[in-house]
Structure formats: C-alpha cells, structure tokens
Amino acid sequence: MGVIMRNLPNVAVCGCGSAGTAIAADVALMGCKVNIFELPEFDQNIAPIRERRGIELTGITSSGKTGFARINRITTDAREALEDVELIMITVPAHVHETFFEALSPYFRQGQTIVVNTGYWASLRMQELLKRTGVLGKVTLAEEHIMPYLSRVVGPAHAHIYNYKRDIRLSAWPAMKNKAVFELVKKVYPQIRLSKNVIENNFYPGNPSVHAQITIPKAAFFFEQAREFRFYGEVSMCASKLTEAFDRERMKVAAAFDCDVPHAFDWFERTYEYPGKDLYEIFGRVTCEHAKRWGTDAGNRRVLREDLCYFFVPMEQLAGFLGIEVPVTKAMIEILQIFTDFDYRKHGVTMKDLGMDGLTTKEQIIAYVTYG
C-alpha cells in the first residue's frame, strides 16, 4: 500500500506471536511509536526483540515498507506498555483474550481505544470484566473481524507477511462509538471499513468460512496421516461446496439481524487479490501465498477450536433464537467434535457470554449492540 499518514497514534501491541510481531513491525514502519507487551510467562517471545530493540520485517506489507522496525518499548510490565498510548491492539487467539484483559485492565486509562484482532465477539465478551475493574466507561472497546495479515515469525525478531488484507471490518461496542474508532484506526490501516455493529462485524466472512470446510473432506489426511501439510493447498471442490452451503446459513442469520455481509468467495478474492470463482480456484493455485504455507495438526486443531467455539456455536445459538434452521453448521460442529474428541459446544460462547441473556426480541439485541 505504501500509505503513510500524519498524526499517527502511539500504539501498544499486546501479544507477540505471529500476528502481533508482524503488526508491531509494520505499524512501526508506518511511523507510529510502538510498545510491545507480552505476558511474563511468555517473556521468551520478546527476548530476541528486546535484544535487538526491534523487528526485521519482510514480505508484502500494509505499510509498503520492509526492513528493520525499531520498537519503543518491549516489556512484560502492563503499566509500562500502556503508558502514553492511544490505541491498544490485542493480537492473541480468542481463548486468551480474557487473560490479557485481566492483566491489562488495571492500567487502561481515560480515552484509550482497545481494538481486538481477531475479535470473535471480544467486545461483548470482555465488557463485564471491564465493568468489574471499573474501566468500561473510560475506554472505547472495539474489534476487527480478522487479523490484518497472513504472517509468521520466521526467525528471532523476524516476521514475514505473506499477504496483507485489503478489506478489514471494524466495529465498536456500542456501535454509537463507531465513527470515533474508525477515525483513529484508519490512520494505521486505511483499508479498514466500518461494520454496522458487532453482529455484522462477526458475521463478515473470514476464518469461519474456510478452516473447517477444508478440513472435513480430508479429515483422515489432516488428523491421521500428515505431520505437516500445506493446509490451503489441500483445498478441494468438496470444501468449496461446504463453504457455499455454510455461507448460505451465515448470510441468512446475518440478514435476519438487518446486517449486510458478502459471500466468502467474493470477500476472499477482493481481500487477497487471488483470482477465482470458488474456494478451490481462489486457494488452490500454486502461486497463492496461502497455499505455500506449512501447517501442523496442532495448529489446525487450534484454529478449529477458535472458529467453532467463538463463531459456529454462537451463530447456532443466535439462529435458534430467531427460529432459523442451520443444519450445515450443526452438522459441521457434530462431525468435528467426533473427529477431534473436543466438545465445542461445552467450551463455546453462549448468548449469556455475549450479554444477551434476558433479551427476548431481535430489536432488543440490535439496540444492545448499538447503544449498549
């Protein structure tokens, strides 16, 4: 992209895995002053960055720049990490969102904006915690529907971005704060677009439209035969058909909440600039950056847990609330529970977790995500 904007915010990037390392480096190369925070028990993740005082970044970046990105602070001290920052990015998997919020919330300050990448309903799931710690009224809570990059840590203090995403959706909770959040975040990511609310944001296509769908038709290969694999390179026409069927249900439930979301095939093609009319054509090409990346059984099980617990299960519940049948979604949950020996519904996000228990109409839910 190569877009460098003035009046950039000071940023704290919280979590230093594949996503956080790439985000911190790219945002620093844009010109932001960046602090990195990691939990003390994962200090080894930031030790090489601390030693070098920065991160080497390669690949296809959002900033249009590569090279060495100097980081302002690299710390396991939450107070130090959040000092004098306007934008706080939580860049960890959904199952550790709460752990990070617990560590950080005592040090949130008036006027700060917290953006969770990838959201998975984080703004609704975390609001009770922020109420308990007395900071909900001080900060603005928002989420992006997907990480900005396909990236990986490829060496000590070295992140590589395989591709950046050209369509990222953002929403605050409540949505009445959307404009202010948008004006701040677009300084860093000009490709950001606003969703109507966090319901539309979470129903926007992304990870839940692809991981389970590629896995199920080749389950024996992924779970039993291969130690490592090029996950997207194993896409099949059956996977594409499964995405098509799942997407009909996803879009139907979203529309019932007055949300406008596109088909996954359209979003993938636009976002990654991979040509193709279906999942097989989009990700099956040998030149596709996704298809070049190696994965493992453990990594695949982690993303399945995230997608199913934090999207499939709440989508199933929201559909049931509206009286909408989602047989494909239900079947995919059931099949993967059998294959992985993991109870996604038991560990999944419920309407109660989203603060929606006691709401009895669609209109009440829409008002809740709009006004709080």
- For 346-367, what is each residue's pLDDT tens digit? 999 999 999 999 999 999 999 9
Separation of CA 48 from chain center: 25
Domain-embedded: residue 202: no
User: 173 with 217, same domain?
Assistant: no
Specify the CATH number for the domain of residue 176: 3.40.50.720
User: 67 with 148, same domain?
Assistant: yes
Q: DSSP letters along 262-292, please? A: --HHHHHHHHH----SSHHHHH-STT-HHHH
Of 158, 173, 195, the residue that ends a domain is 195
User: 186 with 219, same domain?
Assistant: no
Q: Which helix (H) or strand (E) holds 229?
A: strand 228-229
Domain-embedded: residue 1: no
Domain-embedded: residue 4: no
User: 171 with 317, same domain?
Assistant: no
Specify the CATH number for the domain of residue 261: 1.10.1040.10
Domain-embedded: residue 290: yes
Domain-embedded: residue 3: no
Q: In a structure prediction context, what are the per-residue pLDDT tens digits for the chain, which is 372 residues long?
A: 444 446 999 999 999 999 999 999 999 999 999 999 999 999 999 999 999 999 999 999 999 999 999 999 999 999 999 999 999 999 999 999 999 999 999 999 999 999 999 999 999 999 999 999 999 999 999 999 999 999 999 999 999 999 999 999 999 999 999 999 999 999 999 999 999 999 999 999 999 999 999 999 999 999 999 999 999 999 999 999 999 999 999 999 999 999 999 999 999 999 999 999 999 999 988 778 999 889 999 999 999 999 999 999 999 999 999 999 999 999 999 999 999 999 999 999 999 999 999 999 999 999 999 999
Q: Which pLDDT does position 6 carry in this prediction?
A: 60
Cα separation, 81 vs 83, in Å, equals 6
Domain-embedded: residue 38: yes
User: 239 with 139, same domain?
Assistant: no
User: 324 with 293, same domain?
Assistant: yes
Q: Which pLDDT does position 2 carry in this prediction?
A: 47
- Mean per-residue pLDDT over the chain, rounded: 96
Q: Which pLDDT does position 285 carry in this prediction?
A: 81
Residues ≥6 apart with Cβ < 8 Å to 14: 20, 36, 37, 38, 81, 88, 89, 90, 91, 92, 100, 104
User: 163 with 299, same domain?
Assistant: no
User: 124 with 222, same domain?
Assistant: no
- For 123-157, what is each residue's pLDDT tens digit? 999 999 999 999 999 999 999 999 999 999 999 99
Q: Which pLDDT does position 179 carry in this prediction?
A: 97
User: 170 with 246, same domain?
Assistant: no
pTM given for the model: 0.96
Domain of 119, in residue numbers: 11-195
Q: Which pLDDT does position 339 carry in this prediction?
A: 98
Of 195, 216, 249, the residue that ends a domain is 195
Q: Which pLDDT does position 246 carry in this prediction?
A: 98
User: 49 with 102, same domain?
Assistant: yes
Confirm if 280 and 234 have CB atoms less than 8 A apart.
no
If we measure between CA atoms, which residue out of 238, 249, 257 comes closest to residue 328?
Answer: 249
User: 265 with 182, same domain?
Assistant: no
User: 224 with 346, same domain?
Assistant: yes
Q: Which pLDDT does position 287 carry in this prediction?
A: 78
Q: Integer distance in angstroms from the first to the last C-alpha of the chain?
A: 35
Domain-embedded: residue 263: yes
Q: Which pLDDT does position 89 carry in this prediction?
A: 98
Of 174, 195, 216, the residue that ends a domain is 195
What's the domain count of the chain? 2
